[in-house]
Structure 1
Amino acid sequence: MNQAGWIGYPSQVRTLEQVRRQYENGKEERPLQGYLGALSVYGGVTGALALTGRLLGKRMPERFSFGDTALLSIATHKASRLIAKDAVTSPLRAPFTRYEEPAGDGELNESVRGHGVRHAVGELLTCPFCLAIWIATGLTAGMVFAPRITRLATTVLTSVAAADALQLGYDALKKASGETG
């Protein structure tokens, strides 16, 4: 072992230093400390959920049914789009974003503002793909701690997602047939 007590330590530090320099030399600033903060919060929240479950004697299910997995998946998709793109939820994003333009079908395009943590939070809040892991974790924890209310919430979100798909399909059929209004 080396002085640090870890065999690969010097090569790990060199690798991290190379990554840091590559980010510094990039075309745009990346809020690595903000990302690290977000990752730390996520790790802390998931750790707290696990510890709380253990203290309360909650047991994780052996497995989730296909129906629960489908419900969670569609609800996660819808919730992440609602938070990241919906016009009505823009006040939640406003401290971290700047309005750019409508994106169609009740969604907005926004640009992230600020530096550091503010920028990292803005990226998280405007990216449905980034939000999905947070939402899926919360909904999955809900299935362990409060399955009835979580199934109700995921059913609502899944129903809204299905209604959205039907609305878009209906509009597409109207356009294809030449109808307006």
Structure 2
Amino acid sequence: MSEEQTRQGFSADHDAAKDGQVRHRILEGYDAGEQPLQSYTVLAGVFNLIFAVFLLLAKGTGRGLPERIETRDIVLLGVATHKLSTLIANDAVTSFLRAPFTELQEKDSPKSVEEKPRGSGFQRSIGELVTCKFCMGQWIASFFTYGLVFVPTVTRLVATVFAIVTVSDHLHQIYKALSNRA
């Protein structure tokens, strides 16, 4: 190895070590490295990249963004987002989606499970995302909204299915509560 290559290699190693020290100082005292901050950054970047692609596709296809979204669509998509985020984050039937990123804690009922994220880094971050109905809600609401711009009829149809199931779920709970009272 020439002297120049040795200096370049040393310089690259030195720069990498210096970058690591800067990152360490920035995050020092935050959480002793327990939170997968780099993975969170990647997920936030993916979320924003999808949004940017949506905006570019909307512009490129000549679809204008709605000036405002009708109240009935907000209610429909809100109820559907509630149901779908709960379905993805808690239901036993969707546990196969979460299994690579979570570990089973207990089965609350035949239809609901309690899980916690497992692993580290990206695996853990995905586990936290898919077990949090509030976190999933943000992603699902975004996709429903993108769908409303590109394929409004299909989006409303899919959202209607989840909204109907939500109403049905609440009726079941009311019926159960009234039956237990009698």
TM-score interval for Structure 1 and Structure 2 normalised by the shorter chain: 0.7 to 0.9
Question: Aligned AA for 1:25?
Answer: A
Cα deviation 1:13-66 (Å, max 9, x = unaligned): x9x945x1223337xx11111111110110111111111111001111111111
1:140 equivalent among 136, 140, 145: 145
Aligned residue pairs total 160
**1:130 & 1:93 partners in 2: Cα distance?**
14
Task: Give how far 1:105 is off.
Answer: 6.5
Amino acid paired to 1:45: I
Write the deviation string for residues 67-89 of structure 1: whole angstroms up to 9, x where unpaired: 11100100111110011011100
Question: Letter of the aligned partner of 1:130 in structure 2?
Answer: C
Alignment of 1:1-181 (within 5 A): 17=25, 20-25=27-32, 29-104=34-109, 106-177=111-182
2:103–2:115 contact (8 Å) kept in structure 1: yes
List gaps (5 residues or longer) in structure 2.
Answer: 1-21
TM-score under structure 1 length normalisation: 0.84
Q: Report how far residue 106 of structure 1 moved.
A: 1.4
Cα distance in 2 for residues equivalent to 1:105 and 1:54: 46
**Percent identity among equivalent residues?**
41
Cα separation, 1, equivalents of 2:96 and 2:141: 23
In structure 1, how many angstroms separate the alpha carbons of the residues matched to 2:112 and 2:30? 31
Unaligned stretches of 5+ residues in structure 1: 1-13
Higher-Rg structure is: 2
TM-score, length-normalised on structure 2?
0.83
Deviation at 1:99, TM superposition (A): 1.0
List 4+ stretches of structure 1 deviating above 3 A. none
CA distance in 2, matches of 1:23, 1:131: 25
